Amino acid sequence: MLHRAERRTATTKIVRETEAEAIAFVVGKTIGLDAGRVSADYIHLYHGNAALLAESLEVIQRTSAVILSALGTPTAEAEAAQEAEPELAKAS
């Protein structure tokens, strides 16, 4: 869903892993999962950082919203983005 066709070839593994994990964090947090520092540690493992998260924020928000909408949480996009951005940025 996220890194197919052009987007896959236009991004690095660092970008793909960071975006995917950030989306997993946002979705998990929104539905009530507490993963602690797992997502931050994973992003750090792949050398992701706050700047990369900021650059990818639109993709992260849009993809998270699609997933959350499919799960039946239509208002979750704004809440998830507001809650997740500072936590992920601190960890990077």
| 17-70: pLDDT as tens digits | 999 999 999 999 999 998 888 888 888 888 988 899 999 999 999 999 999 999
Position 76 scores a pLDDT of: 47
Residue type, 81: A
Q: Please check the confidence at residue 81 and state whether its pLDDT lies above 90.
A: no
Is pTM beyond 0.85? Reply is no
Distance CA 62, CA 46 (A): 22
| Between 23 and 7, residue with greater pLDDT | 23
Position 87 scores a pLDDT of: 65
Domain of 38, in residue numbers: 5-91
- Between the CA of residue 80 and those of 22, 46, 89, 90, what are the distances in Å? 11, 23, 14, 16
Question: What is the number of structural domains in the chain?
Answer: 1
Position 60 scores a pLDDT of: 93
